[in-house]
């Protein structure tokens, strides 16, 4: 129960890495707010989290909030709801993200804007919405989803790479601004993880991805969730301003 009674807001928590993180956090005793786009998916994730908490003997409370992170008013409303219910916020996991791939010469402005809006502006919205509260508390943890693509770039991902590099810039900057106030900020850079985000990637490409990884397999969402749980916990109390790569050795 490393996250016992911590109040944790996780964006994009209805599926994939976000859902695995929500499940891990409730098993560790956290109270979790599942934030995602579609109310039905949010409700289903909340039900899964409550079942996982019960099975783990955890008294976690789980709330759902339908929120589009690109809309600042919706983000503010979600944070206000967390504060109304719990009176504090200990952990923000900025996990919501999308891809819209095309190589430079083919990428439309709409594709560029959509990915920057969610993966970069959305992270800014959520962090800014919780920062005053965390600073007033004198404690808090902000965890940002970057990617190995945010370290090394990737063919066909101009928009995504820019956003994921940008998230590392946020992490470094906020660690300088908020660290002195007691707020830890870190980023996680997953490699290729088996979630719905890879649904459009052809099987042949997935095979070549597996071949590129020294561990010879894709990651599982739980393997990223484990790192978020560690970074959110007091075990990581001196880890700040870093990017933890979780990619099975992909970039060695």
Residues designated catalytic: 160
Structure tokens at 41: 């998916």
- 136/201 with CB nearer ligand NAD: 201
Of the listed pieces 16-24, 51-59, 124-132, 175-183, which binds ligand NAD according to CB under 6 A?
A: 16-24
Q: Which of 58, 158, 186, 195 binds ligand NAD (CB under 6 A)?
A: 195
Q: Which of 36, 90, 223, 245 binds ligand NAD (CB under 6 A)?
A: 36
DSSP H helices, 153-202, are 158-178
- Per-residue x/- track, 142-161, ligand NAD (CB under 6 A): ---x-x--------------
Identify residues 56-75 at the interface with ligand NAD (CB under 6 A).
67-70
**CA distance readout (Å), 151 to 85, 92, 245:** 38, 22, 9
DSSP per residue, 175-192: HHHHGGGTEEEEEEEE-S
Residue 166 binding ligand NAD, by CB under 6 A: no
What is the closest distance, in whole angstroms, from the C-beta atom of residue 11 to ligand NAD in the complex?
6
Cβ count within 10 A of residue 102: 14
How far apart CA 147 and CA 245 sit, in angstroms, is 8
Structure tokens at 205: 């490409």
């Amino acid at each position: 129960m490393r996250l016992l009674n911590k109040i944790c807001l996780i964006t994009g928590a209805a599926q994939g890495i976000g859902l695995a993180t929500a499940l891990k956090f409730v098993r560790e005793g956290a109270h979790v707010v599942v934030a995602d786009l579609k109310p039905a998916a949010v409700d289903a994730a909340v039900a899964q989290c409550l079942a996982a908490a019960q099975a783990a003997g955890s008294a976690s409370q789980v709330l759902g909030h339908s929120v589009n992170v690109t809309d600042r008013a919706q983000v503010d409303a979600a944070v206000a709801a967390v504060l109304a219910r719990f009176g504090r916020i200990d952990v923000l996991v900025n996990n919501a993200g999308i891809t819209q791939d095309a190589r430079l010469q083919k990428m439309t402005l709409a594709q560029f804007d959509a990915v920057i809006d969610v993966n970069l502006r959305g992270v800014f919205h959520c962090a800014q919405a919780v920062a005053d509260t965390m600073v007033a508390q004198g404690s808090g943890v902000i965890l940002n989803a970057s990617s190995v693509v945010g370290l090394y770039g990737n063919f066909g991902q101009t928009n995504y790479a820019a956003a994921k590099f940008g998230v590392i810039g946020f992490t470094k900057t906020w660690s300088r601004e908020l660290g002195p106030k007691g707020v830890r900020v870190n980023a996680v850079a997953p490699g290729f993880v088996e979630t719905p985000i890879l649904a459009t990637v052809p099987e042949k490409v997935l095979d070549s991805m597996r071949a590129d990884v020294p561990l010879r397999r894709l990651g599982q969402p739980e393997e990223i969730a484990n790192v978020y749980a560690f970074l959110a916990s007091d075990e990581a109390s001196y880890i700040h301003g870093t990017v933890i790569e979780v990619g099975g050795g992909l970039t060695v």
